[in-house]
Amino acid sequence: MKKLLIGILLATGASSVFAQQDAQFTQFFRNKLNYNSAFAGSEDGKICASLLYRTQWLGFGSKEKGQSPSTFGGNVHAPLLGGKLGLGLNIFSDNQGFESTLTPTISVAYHHTFQNQHKLSGGIGIGFIQKSLDGGKLKPQNDGDKAIPNSLVNGNALDLNFGIYYQIPSIAGFDKVYASLSGTHLNQAQVNYGPIKYNATMHYYLMLGGVYDMGTFTIEPNIFVKNAIKTSLDLNVMTTYNGNILGGITYRSVDALALLAGYKFSDVSSAMVSYDLTTSKLSQFSNGTVEISYRHCFGFKTEPPVKTIRPIYTPRFL
């Protein structure tokens, strides 16, 4: 039984090392809402939408043993009440082998801008974890094992998140400086699907970054610390040339070294692709990981209603 369970875990493919349950993204700095609900509505009066697709460990798995992990989804968020509040929707589908996870989340954030234009945001996320497993495709060593489903099973549970997001317009030569602290799965929900019990573990995230403008070039360092049972670190440096050509590199402790390239079609629209070179022992079976994203923002303005001046008649002036 123990060997079989290990085989199932290998076939379904854990979405990252260190037993991290949340799907990981190389382009984490373009997908902050997925990690921090306080980011909703924080982009200066703009409605922003993103799409992202990630296929991990190419060449790992098969139709018979289960496909390698892949993630698809997106989010949209917007400011409300003149930017005091933010509202966001985040939906991601994570597929690993014969198992899939769907996580829709609604985020609500409150934003406070100080006199020095620093902005502090706090947010909560309310969503669901929906798990499903196609047990009919599993091949147990012993027929009739009650611990292994033989048909499609699914289940769901409530999921709660929180976050704090702080923005500084400019400091020490860097612009658009941010610090993000967040936690997911605060209620540590349990999802029961068939004989399987999935226990969500609290994840904590710290993200820091900023932009250094050198004229033709900009340099954008990003640091991402993830604590999920164990702690891992992503170090990223992005650069923009001539305002529209994007390039960068990311180092993920133990797991990968990634190259990134993209193009800014305008100040509000951009696309990016990244390729992870697997550095762990999985490199013997993997041809790397590909991630593609597209992001678009658009502004809107609401004009205050024009008051109509109505004459007041009085018998005094008749």
Q: What is the mean pLDDT of the chain?
A: 86
Tell which residue, 111, 106, 107, has the closest CA to residue 81: 111
The pLDDT value given to residue 1: 35
- Could you tell me where the beta strands, DSSP code E, fall in the chain? 46-55, 67-80, 85-97, 99-113, 119-134, 152-171, 174-184, 190-193, 196-199, 203-213, 217-228, 230-241, 245-252, 256-266, 269-278, 289-299
Total domain count for the chain? 1
For the chain, first and last CA: distance in Å? 100
Residue 64 confidence (pLDDT)? 55
Predicted TM-score of the model (pTM): 0.84
CA angle 24, 26, 32 (to 5 degrees): 75
Q: What is the mean pLDDT of residues 25-47?
A: 94
pLDDT grade for 14, boundaries at 50, 70 and 90: very low
Domain that holds residue 283: 2-317
pLDDT at 35 (0 to 100): 96
**Which of the two residues, 22 and 247, has the higher pLDDT score?**
247
Instruction: Give tens-digit pLDDT for 234-258.
Output: 999 999 999 999 999 999 997 899 9
pLDDT in the model for residue 312: 57
170 token code pair = 């400019």
Confidence label for 62 from pLDDT (cuts 50, 70 and 90): low
pLDDT band at residue 83 under the 50/70/90 scheme = very high
The percent of residues above 90 in pLDDT, for the chain, comes to: 66
Say if CB 137 and CB 150 are below 8 A apart: no
At residue 201, does pLDDT exceed 70?
Answer: yes
- Selected residue with higher pLDDT from 60 and 75: 75
Which CA distances in Å does 21 have to 8, 26, 59? 16, 16, 22
110's tokens: 């409150």
User: Closest by alpha carbon to 30, among 62, 75, 78, 89?
Assistant: 75
Query: Any long-range contacts for 195-202 (C-beta under 8 Å, 24+ apart)?
Result: 195/146, 195/147, 195/148, 195/149, 195/153, 196/131, 196/133, 196/149, 196/153, 198/129, 198/131, 198/155, 200/21, 200/129, 200/157, 200/159, 201/19, 201/21, 201/228, 201/229
pLDDT over threshold 60, residue 106: yes
- More confident call, 211 vs 8: 211
* Bigger pLDDT: 189 vs 17: 189
Q: What is the pLDDT of residues 202-237, one digit of tens each?
A: 999 999 999 999 999 999 999 999 998 789 999 999
Q: Do the Cβ atoms of 111 and 132 come closer than 8 Å? A: no
Q: Determine the pLDDT at residue 146.
A: 79
Q: Check whether 55 has a pLDDT greater than 80.
A: yes
Residue 96, pLDDT score: 86
At 151-165, the pLDDT tens digits run 899 999 999 999 999
**Which pLDDT score is estimated for 8?**
39
- Note the pLDDT of residue 20: 63
How do residues 258-314 score in pLDDT, each as one tens digit? 999 999 999 889 999 999 998 887 777 778 899 999 999 987 654 445 555 665 555
Amino acid at 176: K
Tell me if 24 sits within 8 A of 15, measured CB to CB: yes
Cβ atoms 123, 86 nearer than 8 A: yes
The answer to whether 194 touches 153, Cβ cutoff 8 Å, is: yes
The CATH number linked to 32 is 2.40.160.40
- Tell me how far CA of residue 137 lies from CA of 4, 8, 240, 298, in angstroms: 14, 11, 46, 45
Pairing of strands 46-55, 190-193: unpaired
Output 3 or 293, whichever has higher pLDDT. 293
258 strand-pairing partners: 250, 276
